[in-house]
């Protein structure tokens, strides 16, 4: 992926929250890791999103963290993503 513009953490969280509102739903199945989610959000938003911003947005939206972090330190989140995400970028 080409270099993506960096913004403030608050902007990253806002973009992640908007993306999650459209593309995610609560799940009791296999959790999603925040690193994978950050790449899905980045693809649609077209700007850098940190894994921490995804976790902040998800927990603020009421999604739960599942279990221990991944070996890389990313969070497992109790949510599912729709199969064919629509872009939230204007």
Query: Would you say residue 1 lies in a domain?
Result: no
Mean pLDDT, the chain cut into blocks of 10 residues (90 residues total): 79 96 92 94 93 97 93 94 62
11, 33, 31, 45: CA torsion to nearest 10: 40
Query: Would you say residue 4 lies in a domain?
Result: no
pLDDT of residue 85: 46
Q: Cα Rg for the chain, rounded, in angstroms?
A: 12
CATH assignment of the domain containing 72: 1.10.10
Count of the separate structural domains present in the chain: 1
CA dihedral (31, 68, 41, 63) positive or negative: positive
pLDDT of residue 65: 94
Instruction: Give helix then strand counts, H and E, for the chain.
Output: 3, 4
Query: Would you say residue 36 lies in a domain?
Result: yes
Model pTM score: 0.84
Query: Would you say residue 88 lies in a domain?
Result: no
Query: Would you say residue 71 lies in a domain?
Result: yes
pLDDT of residue 89: 56
59, 41, 18, 72: CA torsion to nearest 10: 10
Query: Would you say residue 26 lies in a domain?
Result: yes
Query: Would you say residue 90 lies in a domain?
Result: no
- Domain boundaries, position 49: 9-81
């Amino acid at each position: 992926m080409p270099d993506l513009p960096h913004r403030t953490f608050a902007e990253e969280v806002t973009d992640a929250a908007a993306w999650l509102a459209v593309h995610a739903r609560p799940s009791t199945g296999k959790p999603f890791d925040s690193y994978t989610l950050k790449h899905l959000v980045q693809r649609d938003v077209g700007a850098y999103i940190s894994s921490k911003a995804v976790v902040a947005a998800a927990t603020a939206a009421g999604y739960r963290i599942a279990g221990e972090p991944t070996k890389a330190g990313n969070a497992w989140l109790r949510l599912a993503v729709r199969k064919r995400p629509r872009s939230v970028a204007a």
